[in-house]
Amino acid sequence: QVQLVESGGGLVQAGGSLRLSCAVSGSIRSINVVGWYRQAPGKQRDLVAVISSAGTTTYAESVKGRFTISRDNAKSTVYLQMNSLKPEDTSVYYCTYRGVRSYWGQGTQVTVSS
């Protein structure tokens, strides 16, 4: 089993910044992918950014140049630095871990006001 605990969501004005954190614990495989998805009301859950244990990153086109994903393996934590936030970034952000199987966090709300 793997547990994920997210933090760092909140309310911010357009143009502002937030940093999300996700602490991963449990039976963590050395080879894995961790990252973030988001889901707005009535919409599907979409990729935001993921990072592999080798450091390879993948971003959604809509966040490239504004968001940065990173991981601290010593702390088993993945971060999402979000800059130049837009109202359309408003969503529940979910942390995910993929090893042998996938796990999800409980989600954290990010609201960007115009």
Q: Counting beta carbons within 10 angstroms of the beta carbon of residue 82, is it exposed (0 to 12), middle (13 to 18) or buried (19 or more)?
A: buried
Q: Tokens representing 36?
A: 């973030």
Please identify which residue in the block is written with the tokens 């393996």. Answer: 73
Angle at the Cα of 96 from the Cα atoms of 9 and 33, rounded to 5 degrees: 125
Kindly state the percentage of the chain with pLDDT values over 90: 94
State how beta strands 46-52 and 57-59 pair.
antiparallel
pLDDT tens-digit map of 15-54: 999 999 999 999 888 889 999 999 999 999 999 999 999 9
Q: Encoding tokens for residue 48? A: 């935001």
